[in-house]
Amino acid sequence: MLHRLVFRFVKPYYGLLVGVLLLQMLAAVASLTLPTLNAAIIDDGVAKGDTAFIWQRGALMLIVSIAQVAGQVGAAFCGARFAMGFGRDVRAALFDHVLKFSTREVNKFGAPSLITRNTNDVQQVQQLLLMGCVFIASAPLTAGGGIVMALREDMGLSWLILAAVGALGAIIGVLVAFMTPLFRANQERIDNINRVLREQLSGIRVIRAFTREPSEHKRFQAANNDLMTLGFKIGTLFSLLFPVVNLILNLSTTGVMWFGGERADVGDIQVGQLQAFIQYLMQILMSVMMATMMLMMLPRAQVCGTRIMEVFETASSVTEPANPVMQIVSKGRIEFRDVEYRYPGAESPVLQDLSFTVEPGTITAVVGATGAGKTTLVNLIPRLADVTAGSVLVDGVDVRQLDQDLLWAHVGLVPQKPYLFSGTVASNLEYGKPEASEDEMWSALRIAAAETFVQERGGLDSSIAQGGTDVSGGQRQRLSIARAVMKRPDVYVFDDAFSALDVATDVEVRSALVKETRQAAVLVVAQRVTSIKDADQILVLDEGRIVGRGTHAELLTNCPTYAEIVASQLSAEEAL
């Protein structure tokens, strides 16, 4: 999965990668040249007392060293540009892909996991690529060249290279095999701690209201300790790497000095050559160690790459049509034809056999018990989910055939759980109409009975916290209503959007909306019967089916389910 992710986004950076390779080759050649030059200084300069030769080769070593530094710095610069650009592109593409998900796909992964995949997981892959360009790209060049150069110095000590590299590779292979499953578990525990923290921050009022701080503290501590314990295991295995490498380096050096000294005694090798062989052996082992560091990072990056690709390879159940309808006659007529909706794996559908029409200039209300399918019905209109049978039509066109931007431009939705974005009142209203003037904003706020409290907060530029947590539930609903009004859509959908309003404010908002939505089709999901008594059509849902249809007066006489709902909320006199 990791290689597929890299190949998917690497194309714009081929030039930088070529630069990394060429510069690392320059650095590797320079690095491999230095021990040979040093050996010549020892054997042909120091041993013979030739000062001019020492100065000459010393100057050449200085030039080669400068070339090595320049190559490594240039490679690091190109590698950093590639890795950072790659991470940016993956995050942007992942964000755009998730935005296309329906509620079904978001629930499948969960918001905490999607956040982790777009942040920590991308960062791990990005870090691997950076290390690969800065350090690892030169490792095979240096290791391969070092072996050749070392054998040129003395073939008799070649077995030491084989033994050292073999021992180091075997030990590292065992460590990597143990760490791969631990890295996968580590990412899952990061998901878990994100989930717990997100729940606690979002539900802080509930936690305090029910004095659940101690238990929530324990729950976070449990998730935190799980992550810490696993981190200890990973850290323990990782900490074995450097002692093992140092041990093998020191044993290798000792072996070269021991066996090389004997060969130097009998004249099979000169002192400078022996010194060069030791330096080449160090370069080989250091290259193996750098490659090992990449191998230690590789399992975690592979896990992260797999998690990222899982998101990319999950197609949204709500897809853009191949040849979308780009224009419709704007009337605002909604029609449900034999609609059924079933969640994946569910035994029975949530909605079934739904057929009704909402005409322009009329108000249709939907009532029913909790779990009757009211919100699911509402979500089918703006394609937050797609029907599993039947069809939903807007102005005579199936919503699945409409261009999504065109559909959303025709529908103004106020969801059951209104959400405000961090920013200002104005920036939130601009979601309804980006180019709106201040007069248009104040007009929408007046319709939603939000003008007074916005003025008290400091006007359109007053700040709004993420989620609208710094305003009351009723104020959030009114701002969400104002945001929908800003669109001036042909279809208004209010999903229990007045539940947090007091009776007086409810009446005020509805009266203003009647005038505003006179030409539009309005679909209202409501719990309070008093809010829908004057609707042109009331649909009564029970277990996903329409069990009653008509006006308030008609349903009181011919729909027992509706009569029970009314009786539970109103007295006999109020119900009439």
Domain annotation for the chain: domains and CATH numbers = 2-312 (1.20.1560.10), 334-417+490-575 (3.40.50.300)
Q: What is the DSSP letter of 530?
A: G
What pTM does this model have?
0.66
Residue 572: per-residue pLDDT: 45
Q: How many other β-carbons are positioned within 10 Å of the β-carbon of residue 161?
A: 21
Which pLDDT does position 573 carry in this prediction? 44
What gap in Å lies between CA 19 and CA 219, rounded to an integer? 50
Ordered strands of the 411-414 beta sheet: 411-414, 491-495, 521-525, 363-368, 537-542, 545-550
Low-confidence ranges of the chain (pLDDT < 50): 572-576
Among 334, 320, 319, 338, residue whose Cα is nearest residue 389: 338
Q: Which residues of 297-327 are buried (b: 16+ CB within 10 A; e: fewer)?
A: bbbbbbbbbbbbbebbeeebbbeeeeeeeee
Q: Which of 209, 459, 186 is nearest to 301 (CA)?
A: 186
Task: State which amino acid sits at residue 488.
Answer: R
- Helix 241-265 to helix 271-312 angle, to the nearest 10 degrees? 150
How far is the C-alpha of 521 from the C-alpha of 536, rounded, in Å? 11
E strands in 399-504: 411-414, 423-424, 463-464, 491-495
